Structure 1
Amino acid sequence: MCGIFGYIGGDNSHQEVKLGLERLAYRGYDSAGIASIVNNKFEENKCLGHPEELLDLDIKSNLSIGHNRWATHGEPSVLNAHPHFSNDKKIALVHNGIIENYCEINKFLKKNGFSFYSDTDTELIPNLIQHYMKNLDIVDATIAAMNHIRGAYAMAFVHIDHPNQINVARLGSPVCLGRSDSGSICISSDTNSLPLSTKEVMTIDDGKLVIANSDGNIIVKNLEGNTLEHKFETASIKKKNYEIGDFSHFLEKEIYEQPIYLRNALSGRVNLDKGFIKLSGISSYIEAILNAEDIIYTGCGSAYYAACIGAQAMESIARKRVRAMSAGELKYYNPVMNEKTVLIAISQSGETADTIGCIKMAKNHGVTTLGVINVVNSTISRIVDAGVYIRAGEEVSVASTKSVTNQIVTMLALAILVGSKKDLSILRYESLISELHSLPNIIDTILTEDNKIQRIAKKYANYNNMLCIGRGYLKHVAKEAALKIKEISYIHAEGYSAAELKHGPLALVDKSVPTLALITSGPMEEKMLSNIREIKSRGGKVIGIVNSDVSKETKKVLDDIIEIPSCSNKLLDPLLFLIPCQLLSYFLAKENGHHIDRPRNLAKSVTVE
């Protein structure tokens, strides 16, 4: 949450930072701001809302820093927009994170004569550095401030007396440094938002301070003030990361390109010709999973619902004792964990604060930790024992679609692989491999139903509330569907197991509350049909997403039908039913005229608790 960007080199730093903030906008868009050093003073450019609202100023400066804000302390306003300044007006600072000992530092600084103009916790930091600079140089003062702060931060600041130097510190929140052939240096919250000219990248580790000079010189210090070695890696910034193509929204693009990225996820891992699954990233840890007494899946938001599907598959196919828990709860749950526990952490960004906290807690108990992540070289990728990249590519829209799909297919492949080492028959193993391999083509077919789904969305766009129900694996998809509907269309939607309908949710049903029912053929179809009749008898309308071999009786009772192909293995149902849910959510939001890629109050990467 929040995005920081800095640039040193040349005289076009202000424009480079503005462009960088636009690429980072998915991290927050309550307000935006830039500070540039010009003639020994700061030139400011701030706005309320998205960074595209920043003025196009002709500011010539070799050093600028900027920020996209997702508000944690104080309302969204220009006054609270970063960068924030020290009382002596010599330090400008941007910050992604949260200062947990805010009250303590606030009192400390006020006692020492400091005053504040904003409601933010960030404003404390430049003043804390100013305080320590009374007796220390800029580097030691920054380290003293870092040791004083408790919480999470990635911060970058510049000082009027050091106009050729940008200072970056990290504890918990992500930040990286990129360098071009010309020697210009960029600071960014993620590597994919660095300029195309970036040739090498350095991920800044926790508890580190980096001082970057305009001559390209880099110094790295730890919290004890020791100078450390540093290493750059070759950058891979692609132009297509920023291009929307012929689509109206990035979310639309990301839904429709799912077959491509599913093929990416399966390539080299699910081999149809030779009939095997191989996940190289965790191959040496399959034995740990087989021997585990307890396997815990965790994640937040959509990643948590994907985790629930992965956990159910592992228990069903591999017959392992498994549980899934939201990372925000697991971190404070005091769970029973030991060396016989495996934690599987799911995160698109690899920077989710609660999930990182769970991994650190688990490692303290000797737990084997595995990651299912999208962003290469992210924090989670570096702290787990091993992991699998889901290969979903850059996901720009705040609402996750293709990353969820790839998380699920990766975890299904893992469950099948582990099952093959136990009691899963060769016949079923080969059947599952065949159907996994066919998934991208089936999803291509489902996407051709988009016009029909759009017509259905038009009918239901003016409702204020909606229920989403399913059974088995599809109860998790129902919850993910409800999450997508509420986060981008702002229709209040709730997802439930249909088994719970009579235990409370049915009280909400009347003609003003439609239900999205996910119905697969098989033993649960009759149960779902009974639930639908209960809804219909109370005046509720029902949209059914059904596979092609449900009964005519089921289809007849539905008000609207979205029909999708069937798979013989119900294990794959979540992936097939997820796609029409995503399309329905998208078209509901489009009908209501919402800003689909930037839903209100949300950010894509949740890097604070």
Structure 2
Amino acid sequence: MCGIVGYVGAQQAAPLLVEGLTRLEHRGYDSAGIAVVGSRLQVTKKAGRVRDLAAALPKRLAGKVGIGHTRWATHGPATDANAHPHTDTAGQVAVVHNGIVDNAAALRARLAADGVELVSDTDTEVFAHLVARSGADTLEGKVVEALAQVEGTYGLAVVHAGFPDRIVVARHGSPLIVGVGDREMFVASDLAALVRHTTTVAHLDDGELATVTATGFTTFRHDLSRTATQASEVDIDPSVYGQGEHGDVSGAPRMYTEILEQPASVERTLRGRLDERFGTTHLGGLNLDPRELRAFRRVKILGCGSAYYVGEMGASLIEELARVPADAEPASEFRYRNPIIEPDTLYVAVSQSGETVDTLLAVEEIKRKGGRVVGLVNVVGSAIARATDGGIYLHAGPEIAVASTKALTTMFVGFALLAIQLGRVRDLSVADGKRLVTGLQRLPGQIGEILKTEDDVAAIAQDLAQAESLFFVGRVRGYPVAREGAQKLKEITYRHAEAYPTSELKHGPLALISPQVPTVAIVPDDELTDRNVAALHEIAARGGPLVVVTHPEVDLGTLDVRRIEVPRNETELDPILLTVPLQLLAYHASLALGLDVDKPRNLAKSVTVE
């Protein structure tokens, strides 16, 4: 969960490295550092943000080869000593690393027994010493010998004062890409770091290494045999990695711009995929024909965090429209219970980045056991996109804020597209298909309507921000919405928020209701409205303050509530509209508390370590 950047070329490396780290800071922001190879190896690193590193850089830091890193801590606290890059005792080798060395304790003990003085608490430092102690004649050989002693995951970049023209990189479990420029080359863990300079990139596979020089790159395996990895052009507009597509809010937090971008993101997700004539959808990227789609008897959805919660929404939608059993499960737990992989089950892996390691490992487990798995991802060329048998690209545009908004919305739309297609090859009528296709077409405009209520939501958020603990409740379609709402609030306000099915309150949690514990209730206009309203009376009778996210048609009688209304769509599609105001609620509550919305404590955007 860290950001890596590297440069080799004719320009001074330091400014390019700092620029790249700034664009990767969403991947880790407790410390940062760079190593530059010029007449000697020079390293500067600093606890804190990239801006703190930039302020600490010496005025003269000459060198045209370098690597940089922004860190999210796994081993050791955020200190200058624990910041990357890490070096060997002689200061000849510098290493940046994303991942976890499982046998770090044993390696540290062995190095200490050999008289090596270890100066950090990190697992990464062992790499630098192992490379320095290798007897190989080449930097490639030294890195391979070091990696042979390591157990765990890594995205790794190494420079050496004795080999000043190159960077050697390696991947096992953590993403790394090589960017091809004009007589200059780049290395990064994320396209965001280099897209201003090149959109021609090569994605390293697990177990692959590369040597990167100013004139090109070569890839190879641990036995030093060459591989044939090629660079290709990525179809992306570099400008979208700037301050956001929504030009009216320049300088605003990225989460805010990404909330406002949702109507346009949903339009992109839908573009070219709706068949109004036959009431179905076009999803050629699935690589599944109608006969194959009909053969599936179950759908299993795997994701982490918000992707898991939207997977629950998707499972409910698939069951309702396609009438096949569907469920969602945390990808982080899936492979550890030795799952039974069924040939007639369609597995769906959900990840904004396409690099979430728990989800990627679940995909690999499914593939290893012969299952059919498709991806729902936002990043073209990502690891999950390449590992699956097909999938649906979300086209949400780059999402930088840690708390997911537009990616989550487009994930739900992706599930709706899949559910309609699965339903139409089964028993979903053309009339219902057309009804849902029309509903999807209305979504961008309706999301825009919800965003216009921001001031009213912000006023409610100001009050909720003062509560130390909150409940979010909903039933059936509304329960995953409640879970996602609680997640958002926890992520960026640090308030305790717990989600429950509304029907479960009377089975224990009702004991916690009091005037100090507000409840945010999801109450759509559907077949369960009366039961939901009855539960609201139970909460009100115990003095619990109520915020109700609902439709204009819902009559709450004499209940004293703060009401947030969203427009009605088709009942099956309403959950996504009910989710949008919860994003605004969390955002404005965080602002009211004076917190950094885009960089919540202890969290990073892409979770690329177990």
- TM-score bracket for this pair, using the shorter chain length: over 0.9
The CA distance in 1 between the partners of 2:386 and 2:506, in whole Å, is 46
Query: Per the alignment, do residues 217 and 257 of structure 1 end up closer, same or farther by CA in structure 2, a change over 3 Å counting?
Result: closer
Q: Deviation of residue 412 (structure 1)?
A: 1.1
Superposed, 1:537-556 pairs within 5 Å as: 537-553=541-557, 556=558
SS at match of 1:332: helix
The CA distance in 2 between the partners of 1:146 and 1:52, in whole Å, is 32
- 2:38–2:164 CA contact under 8 A, matched in 1: no
Residue 589 of structure 1 pairs with residue 565 of structure 2 = no
Partner of 2:357: 353
Partner of 1:406: 410
- 2:279–2:435 CA contact under 8 A, matched in 1: no
Q: Deviation of residue 39 (structure 1)?
A: 2.0
SS at match of 2:263: helix
Partner of 1:317: 321
User: Which letter does structure 2 place at the counterpart of 1:73?
Assistant: H
Specify which of 116, 119, 122 is matched with residue 118 of structure 2: 116
The CA distance in 2 between the partners of 1:166 and 1:467, in whole Å, is 51
Partner of 1:158: 159
Partner of 1:127: 129
Residue 251 of structure 1 pairs with residue 255 of structure 2 = yes
User: Which letter does structure 2 place at the counterpart of 1:291?
Assistant: A
Partner of 2:564: 562
Superposed, 1:284-433 pairs within 5 Å as: 284=288, 286-433=290-437
Aligned length: 602
SS at match of 1:376: coil
Q: Deviation of residue 217 (structure 1)?
A: 3.0
- 2:522–2:549 CA contact under 8 A, matched in 1: yes
The CA distance in 1 between the partners of 2:125 and 2:9, in whole Å, is 26
The CA distance in 1 between the partners of 2:319 and 2:279, in whole Å, is 22
- 2:210–2:220 CA contact under 8 A, matched in 1: yes
- 1:547–1:566 CA contact under 8 A, matched in 2: yes
Query: Per the alignment, do residues 288 and 504 of structure 1 end up closer, same or farther by CA in structure 2, a change over 3 Å counting?
Result: farther
Q: Deviation of residue 135 (structure 1)?
A: 4.6
User: Which letter does structure 1 place at the counterpart of 2:141?
Assistant: D
Measured against aligned partners, the alpha-carbon deviations of 1:410-434 in whole angstroms (never above 9, x if no partner) come to 1011111111111112211111111
The CA distance in 2 between the partners of 1:123 and 1:166, in whole Å, is 17
SS at match of 1:178: strand
- 2:179–2:194 CA contact under 8 A, matched in 1: yes
Measured against aligned partners, the alpha-carbon deviations of 1:367-403 in whole angstroms (never above 9, x if no partner) come to 0011000000000000101111011100010110000
Moved over 4 A (4+): none
Superposed, 1:46-85 pairs within 5 Å as: 46-54=45-53, 55=55, 57-58=58-59, 59-85=61-87
The CA distance in 2 between the partners of 1:199 and 1:412, in whole Å, is 31
Mean alpha-carbon deviation: is it higher for 50-59 or for 495-504? 50-59
The CA distance in 1 between the partners of 2:455 and 2:503, in whole Å, is 31
The CA distance in 2 between the partners of 1:386 and 1:257, in whole Å, is 27
SS at match of 2:124: coil
Q: Deviation of residue 285 (structure 1)?
A: 5.1
Query: Per the alignment, do residues 602 and 199 of structure 1 end up closer, same or farther by CA in structure 2, a change over 3 Å counting?
Result: closer
Measured against aligned partners, the alpha-carbon deviations of 1:127-155 in whole angstroms (never above 9, x if no partner) come to 11122x22553212211222322211101
Partner of 1:231: 230
Partner of 2:220: 221
User: Which letter does structure 2 place at the counterpart of 1:347?
Assistant: S
Partner of 1:177: 178
The CA distance in 2 between the partners of 1:91 and 1:561, in whole Å, is 60
SS at match of 1:104: helix
- 1:99–1:121 CA contact under 8 A, matched in 2: yes
SS at match of 1:93: strand
User: Which letter does structure 2 place at the counterpart of 1:223?
Assistant: H
Partner of 2:2: 2
Query: Per the alignment, do residues 436 and 195 of structure 1 end up closer, same or farther by CA in structure 2, a change over 3 Å counting?
Result: closer
SS at match of 2:419: helix
TM-score w.r.t. length of structure 1: 0.96
Partner of 1:477: 481
Partner of 1:94: 96
Q: Deviation of residue 270 (structure 1)?
A: 1.4
The CA distance in 2 between the partners of 1:93 and 1:389, in whole Å, is 34
Q: Deviation of residue 294 (structure 1)?
A: 2.9
SS at match of 1:305: helix
Q: Deviation of residue 522 (structure 1)?
A: 2.6
Superposed, 1:520-531 pairs within 5 Å as: 520-531=524-535
Structure 1: state its 5+ residue gaps. none
Superposed, 1:459-538 pairs within 5 Å as: 459-538=463-542
Specify which of 100, 105, 108 is matched with residue 106 of structure 1: 108
Partner of 1:27: 27
User: Which letter does structure 1 place at the counterpart of 2:352?
Assistant: Q
Measured against aligned partners, the alpha-carbon deviations of 1:489-526 in whole angstroms (never above 9, x if no partner) come to 11111111111111222122101100000101232111
Q: Deviation of residue 112 (structure 1)?
A: 3.3
The CA distance in 1 between the partners of 2:238 and 2:491, in whole Å, is 29
The CA distance in 1 between the partners of 2:136 and 2:46, in whole Å, is 36
User: Which letter does structure 1 place at the counterpart of 2:495?
Assistant: I
Q: Deviation of residue 338 (structure 1)?
A: 2.8
SS at match of 1:99: coil
The CA distance in 2 between the partners of 1:69 and 1:210, in whole Å, is 23
Partner of 2:190: 190
Query: Per the alignment, do residues 301 and 540 of structure 1 end up closer, same or farther by CA in structure 2, a change over 3 Å counting?
Result: same
- 2:278–2:434 CA contact under 8 A, matched in 1: no
Mean alpha-carbon deviation: is it higher for 162-171 or for 286-295? 286-295
SS at match of 2:148: helix
- 2:331–2:359 CA contact under 8 A, matched in 1: yes
SS at match of 2:7: strand
SS at match of 2:119: coil
Structure 2: state its 5+ residue gaps. none
Query: Per the alignment, do residues 258 and 246 of structure 1 end up closer, same or farther by CA in structure 2, a change over 3 Å counting?
Result: same
User: Which letter does structure 1 place at the counterpart of 2:78?
Assistant: P
Mean alpha-carbon deviation: is it higher for 572-581 or for 518-527? 518-527
Q: Deviation of residue 60 (structure 1)?
A: 2.0
- 1:99–1:152 CA contact under 8 A, matched in 2: yes
- 2:301–2:311 CA contact under 8 A, matched in 1: yes
The CA distance in 1 between the partners of 2:136 and 2:567, in whole Å, is 71
Residue 14 of structure 1 pairs with residue 14 of structure 2 = yes
The CA distance in 2 between the partners of 1:45 and 1:526, in whole Å, is 63
Superposed, 1:268-279 pairs within 5 Å as: 268-272=272-276, 275-279=279-283
TM-score w.r.t. length of structure 2: 0.96
The CA distance in 1 between the partners of 2:248 and 2:130, in whole Å, is 48
- 1:11–1:60 CA contact under 8 A, matched in 2: no
The CA distance in 2 between the partners of 1:115 and 1:195, in whole Å, is 39
The CA distance in 1 between the partners of 2:513 and 2:398, in whole Å, is 39
- Give me the CA root mean square deviation: 1.5
Q: Deviation of residue 327 (structure 1)?
A: 0.5
User: Which letter does structure 2 place at the counterpart of 1:77?
Assistant: T
Partner of 1:143: 144
